[in-house]
Chains A and B, each alone.
Chain A
Amino acid sequence: GDSVTQMEGPVTLSEEAFLTINCTYTATGYPSLFWYVQYPGEGLQLLLKATKADDKGSNKGFEATYRKETTSFHLEKGSVQVSDSAVYFCALINSGGSNYKLTFGKGTLLTVNP
């Protein structure tokens, strides 16, 4: 079945540091890939998405590129802020199969210190 593996947390960075959170996936068909974020005390929110190979999703300074050859969708940001502290989830939806349910990774807790 479909699965998502993301790097174990927690990740602790200083403000303005570079962020990478690794995500790899296993899926049949042609999945769309997503990063969701959960800020403290809030619900999950879509951060960015990519629907086909080589697409780059971007939002709020975060970027991720859909790499089919390495089945990866790593999240990056050049300069993190304290307000980026949250749990980040990589997810996929499989348009070739169950094109309705998101399959999530376990999440990575990011803490950014001033």
Chain B
Amino acid sequence: DTGVSQDPRHKITKRGQNVTFRCDPISEHNRLYWYRQTLGQGPEFLTYFQNEAQLEKSRLLSDRFSAERPKGSFSTLEIQRTEQGDSAMYLCASSRGLAGAGEQYFGPGTRLTVT
């Protein structure tokens, strides 16, 4: 169990640019989640995958955001035409199936700064 990893850890980009983040979950976990956390707030749910299927997207996830999980392994989160309001910590988590849904293992996060 090597834990959930995320790459990059920090990203600074200019408004209007596209960015992509990667998450590698714990290998035997079939559920993968993305959350966003802003300063002074708890994480907010963005989207979730069961294996390769994206089963739910939050209303927070505008059309500029897209997430994939090809082959049910790693996942990517892309933000197109970034805006300053996208600046946040993006967290990835994974868990075993339904019974362990609340026991989510979080990665260290990717901190995005849009200038």
Chain A residues with CB under 8 Å of chain B are: 4, 32, 34, 36, 42-46, 49, 51, 89, 91, 93, 98-107
Contact = CB atoms under 8 A, between A and B. Distances in A.
A46 B95 CA distance: 12
B106 A44 contact: yes
Contacts of B40: 106-107
B90 to A, nearest CB: 12
Interface in B90-115: 91, 93, 98, 101-109
B3 to A, nearest CB: 8
Contacts of A34: 102
B46 to A, nearest CB: 9
Contacts, number: 60
B98 A102 contact: no
Nearest to A45: B106
Contact of A104 (B43, B103, B109): B43
B4 interface: yes
Given A89-B42, A100-B55, 8 more contacts: A4-B42, A43-B109, A44-B43, A49-B102, A93-B101, A104-B42, A105-B42, A107-B42
Contacts of A100: 31, 33, 48, 50, 55-56, 101
Nearest to A101: B45
B109 A102 contact: no
A14 to B, nearest CB: 25
Given A43-B108, A100-B55, A101-B48, A106 B102 contact: no
